[in-house]
Structure 1
Amino acid sequence: MIKAGIVGATGYGGRELLRLLAAHPHVEVTALASTTASGERLDEVLPAFRKLFDLRFETFDAGALARQCDVVFVGVPGKASMEPVAALRAAGARVLDIGPDFRLKNLNDFAQYYKAEHTAAHLLPESVYGLVPWYRDALRDAQLIAVPGCYPISAILPLRPLLNAPLGDIPVVIDSISGISGAGRGLSEAFHYPEMNENLKAYKLGVHQHVPEIEQELLHRVTVQFTPHVAPLTRGILTTITLRPAADFDPAEYYAPYDAEPFVRVLGPGVLPEVKHVRGSNFCDFGWVMDKRTGNLVIVSAIDNLVGGTAGMAVQCLNLMFGLDETEGLRLGGMTP
């Protein structure tokens, strides 16, 4: 059995990791670290896991986690994982960080979009971006994996195969709608029930921290105009991508390699995804329409932000790291209704 630890298991991403790993046939969760629940029983803090785990939260100790675990997931807020990840790597642990701190290779981008100095930049060269379809081979031997952001996954998976298509030089427009869980567990007036119920709003136009991540993983070949929205859904992301081809082409030809991907479902022309069909699953569904009137190619994708956009992709990476079938623990259809 692979022994796994989780730092930050009380957050939404950490909870999803626990839910997936509880049913994983080759993984045993042996240690949990938390700054808010140290000393408390897991099933008292998170009653959903009664009779599934017999664990207590511990104070973070990198050396102890490295000794107890074959791999450690880190699920803390952005800018908070640099210190624990550096300590874990120094102790010899293999690490999967589901936060943003080790995704960007450009330190200037990190400083600009996260408003912070990177304190563990020496680890960036060894960090492997955890988008499985595009980094599968590198992930097998990785010691540090930066699991992608949820919005970027929904945009990069449909767009990256098209980089060799005849795209124009007009910025690619990406509009994404996310459920409220994407904002994390922290309390905020903006996500208070009376503020969000029957509401829909855009935020962080032009300055969202996922812009440089998306452009980095599109190899800086395109400029993106990214507008995120939050909706009164618990989970899920629906992303609409509009681009102007420089010449006619058939997207299906560029998406053919995805036929072999276990969690990418290319729906084809005229078939558009819905959040309910991926809810609770590791799938990314997308389809497209070529608008002959405007000359635009419009692609729509759907993921579950907590599974396919976070914990599920992390578990798929773990499976690769340890030579397992990458679908282990992830063979789940969408929760509909």
Structure 2
Amino acid sequence: MSTNKILKVVIFGATGFTGEKLVELLLKHPSVRITYLSAKIEKDCYYSDLFPKFKGKIDLICEKPNIKKAKNLGDIFFLALPHTVSMRIVPYLLEEDKKVIDLSADYRLKNTKLYKEYYKINHTDKRNLKKATYGLVEFFKNKIKESKLIANPGCYPISTILPLAPLLKEDLIDPEIIIDSKSSITGAGRKPAVEYHYSNISNNLWAYKPFIHQHTPEIVEVLKRISNNKEIKLNFIPHVVGIEVGIYSTIHINFKRRMTTKSLIGIYNKYYKTSPFVRVRVSLPKLKDVTGTNFCDIGFYIDKSRKRAVICSCIDNLIKGASGNAIQNMNVMCGFKETEGLL
């Protein structure tokens, strides 16, 4: 429900890449005010001391997490926390009747066995897991409007579900799909690891976790839910590439019947003509066109047989792939214009 009052926002995990990006974007939002910032830090300090670019923009202290204090300071809570942490906090916030947007994986997978397999821990909040809404506005907008708990999607899932869901829902493609995705290392968060050092990342490219990446079951589960196709077989091969931000996904598909460029554009327009952040291109998209934005650009190339194609999509992994999409969810939850603070 829309309101004229300013929405008070709390961010847990404010010093990670997604937390920092949330602060940056929310400071531009005309209908919200950040009231509390916390992170796992050695001692409390001004947020602008940690990130000098925010001097003169925000004067809040970034504190060690204090949920009892935070609950009195916010209307909506963004949890930009490591996986497996949010499910300890969410029950308390929902009991206090707060709206929560979780940017971790804790409430994305409905299948708790898969959660344990990929995240190596038992899920401890199955009751609220049932209530959580998957935060992909382009397909679950009505549910998001009514939800108190949003599971913000992973970055790779956003870059692959958006181009694939219409084709699977229309039963246009074979269920065995190959996805080659390339991402900035920022998608893995701030970690003091050798492979994250500039000298190792710059001008470098490597594949990792082929077939076993933790986003694989999320992509499959959500695509099955949208399309009602239970036979999806995903071959997902992610890569790290030496760029600052962004994800570029190249998806190899086979059509069940011959398709033309015009007919495929028609399918995408059917699903996304009212989606302000999905842009269907008549050519293959380029990453620089979406970095710094909340857009997902989708393009494709159909081979001369008209029976197979590559579908390409690109997003900014920290904005549409994380913080921008989370704010898009907030806008829908709280009755704001979907694009508010994002265009």
Decide: shared fold, TM above 0.5.
yes
Counterpart of 1:205 in 2: which secondary structure?
coil
Partner residue of 2:301 out of 268, 289, 301: 289
- In 2: Cα distance, 1:38 partner to 1:147 partner: 29
Normalised TM-score (structure 2): 0.92
- In 2: Cα distance, 1:276 partner to 1:196 partner: 19
- In 1: Cα distance, 2:174 partner to 2:288 partner: 34
Partner residue of 1:309 out of 321, 329, 333: 321
Residue matched to 2:240 = 230
- 1:110-149 aligned within 5 A: 110-149=115-154
Residue matched to 1:68 = 73
Q: Deviations over 1:110-167 (max 9, x none)?
A: 0111111111122111100000110111111211101000000000001111123344
1:90 positional shift: 2.8
Residue matched to 1:274 = 286
1:186 positional shift: 1.1
**Higher deviation after alignment, 150-159 or 37-46:** 37-46
Q: Deviations over 1:267-319 (max 9, x none)?
A: 13xx0111100001000001111112583221000100000110110001111
**How has the CA–CA distance of structure 1 residues 59 and 89 changed in structure 2, closer, same or farther, with 3 Å as cutoff?**
farther
**Higher deviation after alignment, 130-139 or 62-71:** 62-71
Unaligned runs of 5+ in 2: 1-5, 225-229
1:38 positional shift: 4.6
The alignment-based identity, stated in percent, is 40
Q: What count of residue pairs does the alignment treat as equivalent? A: 329
Residue matched to 2:23 = 18
**Higher deviation after alignment, 252-261 or 236-245:** 252-261
| Amino acid in the other structure paired with 1:139 | I
| Amino acid in the other structure paired with 2:268 | Y
Counterpart of 1:227 in 2: which secondary structure?
strand
Residue matched to 1:56 = 61
Please tell me whether residue 27 in structure 1 is matched to residue 39 in structure 2.
Answer: no
**Higher deviation after alignment, 83-92 or 42-51:** 83-92
Counterpart of 2:281 in 1: which secondary structure?
strand
- In 2: Cα distance, 1:38 partner to 1:70 partner: 26
**Higher deviation after alignment, 5-14 or 195-204:** 195-204
Asked whether the equivalents of residues 21 and 318 of structure 2 are also in contact (C-alpha less than 8 Å), the reply is yes
Normalised TM-score (structure 1): 0.94
The runs of at least 4 consecutive aligned structure 1 residues that moved more than 4 Å come to none
- In 2: Cα distance, 1:152 partner to 1:229 partner: 14
- In 2: Cα distance, 1:254 partner to 1:15 partner: 37
Asked whether the equivalents of residues 65 and 72 of structure 1 are also in contact (C-alpha less than 8 Å), the reply is no
Unaligned runs of 5+ in 1: 332-337
- In 1: Cα distance, 2:89 partner to 2:43 partner: 16
Asked whether the equivalents of residues 220 and 232 of structure 2 are also in contact (C-alpha less than 8 Å), the reply is yes
Asked whether the equivalents of residues 174 and 239 of structure 1 are also in contact (C-alpha less than 8 Å), the reply is yes
Asked whether the equivalents of residues 37 and 57 of structure 1 are also in contact (C-alpha less than 8 Å), the reply is no
Q: Deviations over 1:72-107 (max 9, x none)?
A: 100011122211223322333211011111100000
1:200 positional shift: 0.5
1:62 positional shift: 2.5
1:168 positional shift: 4.7
Please tell me whether residue 252 in structure 1 is matched to residue 265 in structure 2.
Answer: yes
Asked whether the equivalents of residues 7 and 74 of structure 1 are also in contact (C-alpha less than 8 Å), the reply is yes
Q: Deviations over 1:303-337 (max 9, x none)?
A: 00000110110001111111110100000xxxxxx
1:37 positional shift: 5.1
Please tell me whether residue 163 in structure 1 is matched to residue 142 in structure 2.
Answer: no
- In 1: Cα distance, 2:250 partner to 2:113 partner: 28
Partner residue of 2:108 out of 98, 103, 122: 103
Counterpart of 1:316 in 2: which secondary structure?
helix
- In 1: Cα distance, 2:56 partner to 2:340 partner: 22
Counterpart of 2:244 in 1: which secondary structure?
coil
Counterpart of 2:91 in 1: which secondary structure?
helix
Q: Deviations over 1:15-51 (max 9, x none)?
A: 1100000010000000112121552111111112111
**How has the CA–CA distance of structure 1 residues 115 and 261 changed in structure 2, closer, same or farther, with 3 Å as cutoff?**
same
Q: Deviations over 1:164-206 (max 9, x none)?
A: 3344545100110001211111111112122222210000011
Residue matched to 1:334 = none
- In 2: Cα distance, 1:8 partner to 1:166 partner: 41
Asked whether the equivalents of residues 256 and 307 of structure 2 are also in contact (C-alpha less than 8 Å), the reply is no
**Higher deviation after alignment, 193-202 or 249-258:** 249-258
Residue matched to 1:154 = 159
Please tell me whether residue 263 in structure 1 is matched to residue 277 in structure 2.
Answer: yes
